[in-house]
Amino acid sequence: MRILIADDHEMVRDTLTVFLNAEGRIQVLSAGTLDEALQVIDAKGPFDLVLLDYKMPGMNGLQGLRKAIDGNPQQAFAILSGTAPNSVAQEAVDAGALGFLPKTMGAKSMVNAIRFMALGETYIPADVMQAANSTEDPFDNQLSQRENEVLAGLCDGKSNKEIARDLGLQEVTIKLHVRTLCKKLDARNRTHAAVIAKEAGFG
């Protein structure tokens, strides 16, 4: 797995690199500005995932993300931020990003999220989605289409392996989706998530 971290704070780059390297079988490169990141992509890309800091030089918010995607349509990007409002998470995904990572996330959670997105799946932390959609039905906009599909499998009593086969995904991807679903629905486990969904009239 190859990851590019673009952030103007050296400590953030170094810390993330250490965490990812500790996982093994992950090659990490870094950049300090959007222009530098685009140069690295041109010279050494594509990467399984490129993390772009929302506030670094050259970004101008999500304009930089759109510029990066326009120039590299086959490359997967995600937004990394310590200050962006929660609404930016959905805007970033709508603009073509695979996800949004707050810098306040725990190291293990962030590594899992990066792995998740590197597999091609969309990721927004549950608490960010809850804050952004606080007045909306949890099954309305809070869950992605893929999460709805996985939840339907849980409601049918299927195993992760069965759901993975049905959706043409890896079992590890389904496990990550189930974990995210439990957080978003405030469920103790997969069975509890299915019960919550059924009680809410899901499906």
**Mean pLDDT across 21-28:** 87
Cβ partners under 8 Å of residue 106, min gap 6: none
In 98-137, which residue ranges form alpha helices assigned H by DSSP? Answer: 107-118, 126-132
Render pLDDT for 39-59 as a digit per residue (tens, 0 to 9): 999 999 899 999 999 989 999
For residues 53 and 8, the answer to whether their CB atoms sit within 8 Å is yes
How crowded is the C-beta side of 82, counted as CA atoms within 13 Å? 8
What pLDDT, on a 0 to 100 scale, did the predictor assign at position 77? 96
Q: Are 8 and 32 in contact (CB under 8 A)?
A: yes
pLDDT confidence of residue 103 = 84
pLDDT for 117-132, tens place per residue?
A: 999 899 988 777 665 5
Q: What are 94-99's contacts with CB under 8 Å, separation 24+?
A: 95/62, 95/65, 95/66, 95/69, 96/65, 96/66, 96/69, 97/65, 97/69, 98/49, 98/122, 98/123, 99/123, 99/124
Please report the pLDDT score of residue 203 as a whole number.
Answer: 59
